[in-house]
Amino acid sequence: MKAAEILEQLINEAERIVFFGGAGVSTGSGIPDFRSATGLYNRQQNTNYSPEEMLSYSFMVTHPEEFYTYKRENLYYPDATPNLAHLALARLEANRQDVTVITQNIDGLHQAAGSKNVLEIHGSMQRFYCMKCHRDYPAALVWEGEGVPLCPPCGGMIRPDVVLYGEMLDQRVMAEAQNAIRRADLMIVGGTSLVVYPAAGLLQYFRGKALVLINRDPTPYDHTATYVFHEELGELLDEAIQ
């Protein structure tokens, strides 16, 4: 059987499905990943700081101008639209009662595709708020502006609602993700190297019937999977999810 036929059969037999995805889900939308040869972490930068440092909470607080310059130059993709993977997962949720998407991505493309039950464990660059008074602000205000965005009423700095290096993951979101995985009888993992913790550790909560890994390269969890596919993620999901 072809990979798509196997995946389609597993989906048809499952009652509760979880999809857990990483940066590879959005590369088909023109958003680069982090760790590949052409990814964000391997780009030549005109700075002495590493990408990890510039994406940290401490850097945001101590170097806000450089923080926002880096964000606008490297994490803003206004023309990105949902690809085959996002659309297939939205279609899956629309056709079934119990589908949860857990994403490490911060681009909001799952929601743009139509998925509603989405857990963003690293937050979203579509949401911003004031660090002082916690007033919410639209993303366009920040992305289309210049310099450090400040809250007009209180003067506090406006920050993205994402988890930066040096910050804890949202424990409520993590608990919801763990519960969804525990309940699932099919878990599909796609577009992630499974080397970033604690996110990668979510797989330990799966006790269901079938674990499917779809990734371009091998992962540390391949030996635990029921099936491992190296097909192109969007094409495989699109063919398997009718």
- 147 close to 65: Cβ distance less than 8 angstroms: yes
Q: Indicate if 122 belongs to the active site.
A: yes
Catalytic residue selected from 63, 86, 110, 122: 122
Distances (CA, A) of 206 to 21, 84, 153, 211, 212: 15, 26, 46, 8, 11
* Number of CB atoms found within 10 A of residue 127's CB: 16
DSSP 97: S
Cα–Cα distance, 15 to 97 (Å, whole number): 8
Here the tokens at position 186 are 């099919």
Q: Are strands 158-162 and 136-138 parallel, antiparallel or unpaired?
A: unpaired
Dihedral of the alpha carbons of 240, 35, 70, 32, in degrees to the nearest 10: -30
Dihedral of the alpha carbons of 30, 110, 219, 182, in degrees to the nearest 10: 180
Cα–Cα distance, 2 to 13 (Å, whole number): 17
Nearest C-alpha neighbor of 22 from the set 240, 223, 221: 221
DSSP 4: H
> What residues act catalytically?
122
